[in-house]
Chains A and B, each alone.
Chain A
Amino acid sequence: MTDLPAHSPLAVRGLSVTYGDKPAVQAVDATFPRAALSAIIGPNGAGKSTFLKACLGIIPRLSGEVSIFGQPFAQARGRVAYVPQRASVDWDFPTTALEVVQMGQYRRAGLWGRLSGSARAQALDCLNRVGMADFATRQIGQLSGGQQQRVFLARALAQEADLYLLDEPFAGVDAATERAIVDVLRGLRAEGKSVIAVHHDLSTVEDYFDHVFLINQRAMAEGPVARAFTPDALHATYGGRLGLAAAPQTVQAAE
């Protein structure tokens, strides 16, 4: 296929993923804008995380094409930073916040390369940007959920990528962490970086994001928040399940 736009940090055509014989994502097209904050929104089980993982080759895709800045993912790997769901890892792992951030420097150091003192300084700076500099030597299991999420974000910053893919960065975090994360993401946008986040809280979409992509196994709507984040689109995406997560006026409008 040749119609994948090279200007887009992440463009997807006809992406399908199945678990066994159960379809998880069906024939999805999406084009995300550069230097913007984009949200992937949909009900539980709609395939949001699956969509991200399939784009990154973590889950095999049944069909479809994915392009990162106009290239296949394998060639654009170095430009992408991925932040998995916090709950997907074991935080009892014997390591410190700083060491987790330094995992983000792996591509520069390689399998055997030495991490220099300046790499350590860069990792500390990343922790500083998420307000976690004081916790550098703390074992990660001793951090709160919000602090763990910030360490994950710092690891992504250490990758010095152009595209940041975050899976539910605001899930189960405190208000201070949510503000800190939003500030960092806005800073990335100001530097011309692109951010795509799986997001749950419909009430903050308009505050935080520029662009939305609505998914419920199939692509339901996409575009700038003002145009695509409409009651009709939400109703189509969530069906009768549009519940407490939505802001009151949105719910009323949807009904």
Chain B
Amino acid sequence: MGAEFVQFSLTPILIGMFAAMACALPGNFLILRRQALIGDAISHVVLPGIVVGFLVSGTIAAGPMGLGAAGAALVAVVLIEAIRRFGRVEPGAAMGVVFTTMFAAGVLLLEQTGSAQVHLDVEHALMGNLEQLIWLRASGWASLTDPAALATLPPELTRMALACAVITGLVLAFWRWLKIATFDEGFAQSLGIPTGALGFGLVIAAALAAVAAFQAVGSILVIAMFICPPAAARLMTNSLTSQVCWSLLFAALSAIFGYVLAGYGPLWLGGQHAVSAAGMIAVVSGIILGLAALLGPCRKGAQAI
């Protein structure tokens, strides 16, 4: 049991956890800034970037696809800002226009790659391939100390852990700025905090999380992870620090329970096949949000008393 777990479940669960936590961190601030839709937008717009990266390089290597995704995220941010300024429409509408158009363009591009022999299809883009990120060379927990086995860890694990660490570092480094500027932007500007650059940096951090997570867990899960754990965390506490900690806990729990339920849940219920892990992780995070909304100590209703 132990060996099988390490081989087939440990790395997907860890990758899912890192992806969920990397998205939840910027998600906290996006939600408090009433910009939750930005996370949604980013996870959509990276699709055409990834496809273009794939078409240009001809491989599903992480480098070119990541570059394409980052480029697409930048293009989207600039487009949204341009439409908002010159079109004089509200930010939500500008985002809606940009991300649906770019996502649709991505799907069209994706169809053009259909003849290629390489695995990049719509389902993969939406659901990721978490179940395939297994550690075949592992023979048990002892492999964690075996350099030869460690060298064959899925590269997604290292990449996702690195992205998670970078985003954690950025949030910690700019914590005070983020807190003041998110609460009271005018006051932050009067202090000399560069709120424009800070907001842009937050979007870039979110894009980094989305790009790193996209290949492993797909765009549906990325959207859920930006919003569900932070939104549930807000209902648990009235302190920003605790909110961020709760959101990390919820993100990790979603990944663990979601993966296990997807793999074994259907069998327990007498079914034959496992269901999509990414889908189940998103469902679990939604259920956690639902429970927090019903029982959380800092709901609107609970505060009134």
Contacts and interface: CB of A to CB of B under 8 A. Distances in A.
B34 interface: yes
Contacts of B32: 90, 93-94
Main secondary structure of the interface of B (DSSP, over half): helix
A109 B186 contact: no
B177 A111 contact: yes
Interface string B175-192: 011011011101101111
B183 A106 contact: no
Contact size class for B? 20 to 34
A53 interface: yes
Contact of A58 (B88, B177, B189): B189
Given A95-B239, A100-B183, A106-B180, A141 B303 contact: yes
A89 interface: yes
A115 to B, nearest CB: 9
Main secondary structure of the interface of A (DSSP, over half): mixed
Contacts of A20: 88
Interface in A21-35: none
Contacts of A80: 190
B234 A103 contact: no
Residue among B34, B183, B237 with the highest chain A CB neighbour number at 10 A:
B183
Contacts, number: 71
Given A93-B32, A106-B191, A58 B186 contact: yes
Contacts of A57: 189
B294 interface: no
A53 B190 CA distance: 9
A103 B242 CA distance: 18
Interface string A59-90: 00000000000000010010010111000111
Contacts of A142: 303
A184 to B, nearest CB: 18
A95 B240 contact: yes
Interface string B155-184: 000000000000000000110110110111
B135 to A, nearest CB: 39
A56 interface: yes
A103 B184 CA distance: 10
Interface string A130-150: 000000000101100000000
Given A107-B191, A112-B173, 8 more contacts: A20-B88, A82-B187, A84-B186, A93-B183, A94-B32, A95-B183, A139-B238, A139-B298
Interface of A: 20, 53, 56-58, 74, 77, 80, 82-84, 88-90, 93-96, 100, 103, 106-107, 109, 111-112, 139, 141-142, 155
